[in-house]
Amino acid sequence: MKAIVTVVGKDRVGIIAQVCTELASYQVNVLDISQTVMQGYFTMMMAVDVSGCKVPLAQLCQVMDAKGQEMGLSIRVQREDIFQAMHRV
């Protein structure tokens, strides 16, 4: 199953490394990544494969939310199909 991870917050060194390290610790594989910095704010979207994840998706969502709070960022994880449904025009 695929999921979308979004990360938003004030830019600083190491955001991608910390987020990817946390995901890897749960056996989540990054498939694609897009990031940019806009006026000092870091934004990133990642397509990830959660089929090998060691915990249920709901728990991964909570873990990544907590990691985001610890880092001063907003980190959200959503199933790809739900993300696409929410962002259809």
Domain carrying residue 67 = 2-82
Following CA atoms 66, 61, 29, 47 in sequence, which dihedral angle do they give, to the nearest 10 degrees? -110
Residue 44 lies in a domain: yes
Residue 9 lies in a domain: yes
What single DSSP character describes residue 28?
Answer: P
Residue 64 lies in a domain: yes
**Count of domains forming the chain:** 1
**What pLDDT sits at residue 88?**
64
Please give the Cα distance from 57 to 63 (Å, whole number).
Answer: 10
CATH number of the structural domain spanning residue 61 = 3.30.70.260
Query: How much is the pTM?
Result: 0.89
* DSSP state string for 65-77: HHHHHHHTEEEEE
Residue 89 lies in a domain: no
Residue 12 lies in a domain: yes
Q: What are the pLDDT tens digits along the chain (89 aa)? A: 999 999 999 999 999 999 999 999 999 999 999 999 999 999 999 999 999 999 999 999 999 999 999 999 999 999 877 766 666 65
Following CA atoms 76, 88, 46, 80 in sequence, which dihedral angle do they give, to the nearest 10 degrees? 80
Residue 87 lies in a domain: no
